[in-house]
Structure formats: structure tokens, C-alpha cells
Homo-oligomer: A and B are copies of this chain.
Amino acid sequence: MVSARHMYCLPGRCEIIMPACRVYQDCMDMELHRLRTFVAVAEIGSLSGASDVLRIAQPALSRQIRLLEEEVGQQLFTRSHAGMRLTPAGGELLGRVSGLLRQLEQSLDEVRSFAQDPAGEVTIAMVPTVCAVVAEALVRRVARELPQVRLRLIEGYTSHILDWLHQREVDMAVIYGPAIDLHLRARILATDELVLIAAAGQGPAPGPVAVADLAEKPLILPGSQHGLRLVIEKAAEERSGIRLTIAVEAGAFATSLELVAAGLGWTVLPGSTAARFAADGRFEIRPFAPRLSRQVVLAEPPGQPATRAIERVTAILSEETERLLR
């Protein structure tokens, strides 16, 4: 018996298959059903929890997982009283299939809405500061202009978002540049100027400040995986050779602002974020001279044709980001 693919030929394609024969049916019995329950169980971390979410009896899930493990010939979870933990093989499977399942659902949504208004789910990742500024307007416009589209917004740091883009876990992302070419299509949406934020009455004299002025002052900055931190450290190093004093590491800018307001130190944020969340009387805002800035970049995942829903949401996202970040 010859493999299925060997028996027919698309025009323009000549196929040679080695080793000779192979029956496709043998390994074609995997169904989405089983993979979907796997992904849910893996992400939730327990059968009972997944049972609640999926509204399927827990023994049925147990059986599906066991059958999946038999089908791939690998143990995918370690069971314990604490739930289900992925084995390395299970992690490999999750990483590979979850993005594919998402794309499959999207493809079906795209065909379902063929010749109609765009429909389906669109997942967008943004860095927290941009998300905080843009999310409301984006959600509002998508709800009004694309009622058939479900929007998922995910916050994350640029480094994580890049991983998600490459694994196709997200459909579009707003991250901070420079737009390093990782074989992604990217477009610069805005250049976000960074500003110094201090509690009212505790800032430097009005007017621009130099990076050197930060020396020895207690600062509240995000951790080193955060792009903002790198920009500031690099500027401090290059411009004045000073070393920064990090009083507190706070990843969430809202927390940083609270700490600044409490007088624990200064922080640095994009001007658009400051204008929106630090505009009340509690803070003093100072620009840098020379300017400190970051590129705000719109990045697409590699390859695959986007759905119309993604294209439309992207257009709205670009407009709103450019508008709100000036």
C-alpha cells in the first residue's frame, strides 16, 4: 500500500517519498477534541479545574489525557495530589500545538465570515504602558466598528511578546523598539519620550533634567527584563558614566507611581503614560535634555496570511496608538 499523499499529485508538484511506503491512516487518528482538552488541562493545571471550565465530567478528561499519552507514546503529565504538571514532553506538545489550534479556529472564523463583515477572535499583545493608554479607545472602537470581533488584549514585556509573536500566540503586537529585525514585519508607530516623575515638591528644579542628575538619587524602576530599564541604564552609562541607584524594582508602573507619590524616590516613564496617569497634583514631571526616547513599534507574527479581522483591528490599533502617543 502506498501513502495517501503519494497517490495524487498537485499540478506543478512532483513528489518523491522515502522510505517507500507508508499508510497515512496509521497516525491520522488524532482529533482536535483531544488536543483541546490537553491544552486546557495543561494551562489550568488540574483535571478538576478544567472540568469546571470545560463543563465536562472530570473522569472524561482523565480518559482523554490517558488516551493522548498512549497515542503519542509519552507521559505528558506528572500526577499528584496538587494536580497535573507538564513533563518536558508535555511542554513540548503544548508549545507546539496551542498556537496551531488558535490559528485553526481563526481560519474557520475567517471562512465563516467569508464575504461578510470580519468576524472571529483577534489577540493583541502590548507593553503595559501602551496598553494602559490605548486599551480603552481600542476596545471602544472595535466594539462599535467590528461587533463580530472578539478582542483579546494581553499585556507583557517586549521580550515575552517577541516569543509570543514567533510562536504565533498573538496576532499583532505593540512593543518597544529598536525594531530589531527578527524576521518580523514591523512598523514604527510613534516615538515615546521618557520623562522623570517625582512626588510633588520633591523633584528637581523645573525645566529639563540631565541623566546625570539621576546619580545617587533613589530610583524606582522595573526589573532588568523590562526594556525601559535598559534604555535608562544605557543612557546613564553612555551619557555620563554614572551608575544608578535602584531603590525599588517595580514592574507595574501604577505601583511605581504609588511609590513615587509616597516619596520613596523618582521614576521614569513614557510621557504618554505620565500625561494620563501622573497628571494630578501629586506629581512633578520633568523632560530630559537631551531627550530620552523609545520607538513604539507595531509588529506582526511571521508568515501566515492575516484574517480580515486582524487587518481591521490592526488599522484601528495603529490609528489610536499614533493619536494617543502623538
A14 contacts B154, C-beta separation under 8 Å: yes
Identify the closest chain B residue to A168 (Cβ): B303
Give chain B residues whose Cβ lies under 8 Å from the Cβ of A73: 112
**Bound Cα distance from A54 to B114, whole angstroms:** 29
**A183 in the interface (beta carbon within 8 A):** yes
- Given A43-B8, A104-B100, A302-B303: A17 touches B152 (CB 8 Å cut-off): yes
The size of the chain A interface, using a CB distance under 8 A, is 79
What copy number does this chain have within its complex? Answer: 2
A27 contacts B108, C-beta separation under 8 Å: yes
**A13 in the interface (beta carbon within 8 A):** yes
- Given A19-B150, A303-B301: A30 touches B156 (CB 8 Å cut-off): no
B100 contacts A103, C-beta separation under 8 Å: yes
Give chain B residues whose Cβ lies under 8 Å from the Cβ of A167: 303-305
**A15 in the interface (beta carbon within 8 A):** yes
Residue of B32, B72, B100, B142 near A30 (CB, 8 A) is B32
Chain A contact residues, CB within 8 Å of chain B: 3-5, 7-8, 10, 12-19, 22, 25, 27-28, 30-33, 35-36, 40, 43-44, 49, 53-55, 71-74, 88-89, 92-93, 95-97, 99-100, 103-105, 107-112, 114-115, 135, 139, 142-143, 147, 150-156, 160, 166-168, 183-185, 301-305
